[in-house]
Amino acid sequence: MSDTRQDAPVASGPEAGEGCKDCSRRKFFSQLGLGSLVLAGAGSGLFTYEYFSPNVLFEASPVVKAGKPDQFPSDSVTLDARAGIYVVNSDAGFYALGAICTHLGCLTAWKPDLDRVACPCHGSQFNRKGEKIAGPAPDPLPWYEVSLNDDGYLMVDRSNILKTPKYFKV
C-alpha cells in the first residue's frame, strides 16, 4: 500500500463517506471477485456431482429371460434369485413379482409350507400375489410385465411395474 505517500489517494475504509472517489470501484471489484468465487464454487460442485455419477453402467438388463412356460408347474411360485423375481403360474395365468423386499432391499424367499413370501432381514411377509401380510415393508411386491418372445421364452421386464394385476395367458 502506498497510502503513506502524500500525493497518493488515501485508502478509505468501509465507513468512507460521500467524498470517496474509490468506493464504487472498490465495491464493484469486490463483488466481481466474490461473484466469480461463487460461480467457480458452483461449477466445481456440479463438476464433482457429474464426475461421481457414472454415465455407463455394467448392470444387468431390466428384461430377463425367465424360462419356458412348461418349466413352471401349474399353481407354483418359482424364485429366480439372480434376477430377483418370482414367476407364478396360477389358474388365471402367469405373472411375475419382484422378489426384492420393499422395506430395505433384501432378497426374499418363497416358503411353500406357509404359502408365503418371507424376508430374512426384518421379517416382512407377503402372500403369493405380493400383498403384505406382516412386517415393516411399506409396499406390496411389484408386479412386472410378462411377455413371450419369439423363441417361446417368458420374458419379464423389471423396469415395467404394472399398476393393476395382469395375468399372462400362454
| Contact pick of 6, 14, 57, 163 for another protein (by CB under 8 A) | 57
Q: Which residues contact 6 (CB under 8 A, 6 or more apart)?
A: none
Per the listing, cell 503513506 goes with 4
- Cβ proximity to another protein: between 11 and 42 the closer is 42
Least Cβ distance, residue 160 to another protein (angstroms): 16
Per the listing, cell 413379482 goes with 97
Residues 99-128 that bind another protein (CB under 8 A): 103-106, 121
Q: Which residues contact 136 (CB under 8 A, 6 or more apart)?
A: 103, 122, 123, 124
Least Cβ distance, residue 105 to another protein (angstroms): 4
55 makes contact with another protein (CB under 8 A): no
**Which pairs count as long-range contacts for 69-78, CB under 8 Å and 24+ apart, including other chains?**
69/94, 69/148, 69/152, 69/154, 69/170, 77/110, 77/112, 77/117, 77/128, 78/110
Stretch that binds another protein, among 14-22, 23-31, 55-63, 148-156 (CB under 8 A): 55-63
Name the grid cell of 141: 411386491
Phi and psi torsions of 119, nearest 5° = -100, 130
Instruction: Kindly determine how many residues on this chain lie close enough to bind another protein according to the rule CB under 8 A.
Output: 12
| Contact pick of 59, 113, 150, 151 for another protein (by CB under 8 A) | 59
Stretch that binds another protein, among 39-47, 63-71, 98-106, 162-170 (CB under 8 A): 98-106
Instruction: Give contact residues for another protein (rule: CB under 8 A).
Output: 49, 52-54, 57-59, 103-106, 121
